Structure 1
Amino acid sequence: MANKGIVPVKLSLTEGDFYTLWAPQWREHGAEWQAFLGAGEDLYVFSSPAEVLLFLESGAKHDLEAHPQWEAFNSKDAARVVPDELDYFDLVGTPSLLAEKPNRRNVKDVAANFRMARALGEVCGNTDIQVFFSSHSILSNPERGFDHFAGDNGLGEWTAIGRVVLTNWAKVLDALDSCVTVKKVDGEAATAQTKISNAQAAAKKAAEEEKARKEEEAKKVDPYDTTLWSAAGIDPIKVSIDGRTLYTLRTYIKAQPVFLGKYGEIFTFNSAKALVRWIIEHEDHDLARVATWEDVMTAANAGDLEVTVHPDNVYSFNGIVRDISTGLDAVDTDQMSRAYELLADAADWAADDSLNSYFLSHPRLQDYISYMLGSTNTAGYTPTPPFDEHAENWKELEEMLTKRFSKF
């Protein structure tokens, strides 16, 4: 409460429900203060939030204008005078709460009601209220929460608080009634209520729009971005080729690919679990020199490493040879482009010219792939059937790749 500035509150007193503004304790010039909406010795309460708004808009002077956060509070929309559910204090109903067995809700409500009654008594300087709380230290225990009243001892203490309240609360309520002044205001309460309703509707609409915006933004967030792999910049990759599925790892350093492997051999595994088991037991590979590899190993050794493959790192060679033989329209160019990316990365990492040498000796395949992938270097060139030779050549490219794999 101490940091809430100025808050609207609802008070249930003997004569009914009333509304006012409360400034919980704040510190200024080395002293602690708290206040309610009022002037001089009068503490104002109103029959509705609309009447509170009418009073504030009337320009009448009151003590809260001296509060350091008054201008910030009063610049808010008309709904600023409507209490939240947590700022409802059923002072009349306190004995009924204590008549029940303690639970999280009623312990919290009793503590809040005691806090409010004490605050009203202090601001009004009411001796009866102040003496009541100072004479019964047990009344501060609801602030400790529900767990304090667990067990037989706690239940006994709850009952003891109930007895104190049952004996004295009527006098406390009389004192509270004498503290407040039911303020009458001029103006149309219905008009003020319309302002409040419009402000609440606008706030609700804004909240719904903000919720929708956040949900839309959440849809755009790639779940992979929250993984350790993304943070480390090292990616699991999945390769489907020649009827088999294999897993390995790859990163890029200064735009150059680095695979899990050594001396041109890519270490591959037939399952994600096998990959994790292997990296825990081995450290002689090129990725071990990457700065963030230690982060991967820490998670692996702790049993927290899960292999998550981003869709961009899934490579399927299945069916490409058949589709090339069938015709230009049968080839999935996106699949071919991604497969070619892996072929090129593997050759670059191995630092050999095998791929370039192959294309030099098979220029028709190079022209075909360039055409299929939309290269501007093939202007005026259109592949013509039959495509059996192209299919056979592509098959040889796949074999060049699988020969780099440790397990195939």
Structure 2
Amino acid sequence: MARPSIVPIALTVDDRTGYTLWAPPWEEDGEEWQAFLGTSEDDRASVHLFPTPAALAAFCRTRTDHDLADHPVWPVVVGLGAADLTPDDDHRYDLDGVYDIAAENPDRWAVEELAATVDIVSRLAECLDTGDEDDLTDDEELTDTDDDRDVDADVELDRRPDAEVERGGEFGSLAELVARPEIGSLGLGVDAFVGRAGEDAWLGVGAALDDLWEDVLEELGAHLDWTGGGTVALADYPSAEEAAEAEDDLADEDVDVAPTGATAAGATPVSAIARPGRIRANPSQVAEAAKFWEAVGILPVEVVVPEGAGVTLRCYVEDEARFLGRNGEVFVFPSPEQLTRFCAGDEEHDLTEIASWPEVADTDTPPLPAEQDRYDLTELTDVMAEVADGAAGLVPHRAIAQPVEGVRDIAEYAGLDRVEQLLRPTEPLGRAVARAEVEPDAPLRAEDAAAVRAAWDEVVTQVSGALVFRD
């Protein structure tokens, strides 16, 4: 059975960044649970925050008086260091920055970042609301997993995919915020904000945040323990900018390619279905490089297939994907440096005619893929195998979404008709993809995974045949 996971996250509030741990929903004794690193005293639940990943790691090594101590993979977390407990880009939530994001144009990144921020705050609220059981909605009912658990002293909440924060409770402002239809539209992606109606919806998102976000932060702030369970002081916290610089010092300054299967010590058992990309760089390097690549409209993309892993470039021309390649073949390079050398050469390819290509050919900005542009097709293969072998309830449909996004683009560019057939809504894989769009948290069932797995294996074979590994 697939293992539950514990993921390091960072929260930025009031120009202070705190690090903690989140256990995404997992199944135990027939119930679905999620939790954060925290405790409850006098009927008030709190999440422990730490000024650095190192302080978080030190707490994990020495303390067991918290609600993750009996999590199935906690023994692994105890042995992890600061580098292993440093969040990736997808698990950093800037609660101060929502107004700035809402003021931007509603592109994919802005919509996804706002949606992720509202989602993590909702998950925190669901776990931290210690209201009486009778005051909870049917979908929020607290449950025990064994006779030794005390509901009032545990921040773990049985969270089903349709759970919501109750209006009028400890997080009433948050409940009011997420009930706004414009906020609900964030989960539909950037397409919900296209056209005149979409523009109005995006303005509605900004208006909702203006009305309620400060109240939401006040509600949440009452449950944030910035002392790390009494192990640190507020004076230990750097500013958000200083925290980012400290992480840069922790990370390797050189961009390199991690060997196949190489991850931080213990990373695989901690997060069985969220392994890092093969092209490794610290977050500030990726963010700095993204300024150039987004400006030219051509983005670095990482693809991982059974035959290997590498980086390429992709843009969209009249909403159709176009890759660095020729005649339907995608050129993939084992490192950003090798891709950069190719771009500076004079070989003809399908991006040569793009207006901004001369800037790409002349730049020394490394092509570092952002997290949303990494497509590990082998990871989903492994996930499908685990689910088919009985890991039902541990893998949500959302695990399908990002790999399929990359597959669709490559299939479109390479003319892979068979892939398009397998992704039709009438086919098992297509049905799973469709459900991932409307019910991303719905767990994959073992009986569905077998058929989906066979189709996905064929998709991966097709896509692998369109990749040409260059050096």
The normalised TM-score by structure 2 is: 0.39
Structure having the larger proportion of residues in helix: 1
The normalised TM-score by structure 1 is: 0.45
| Structure with larger RCO (C-alpha < 8 A, sep 6+) | 2
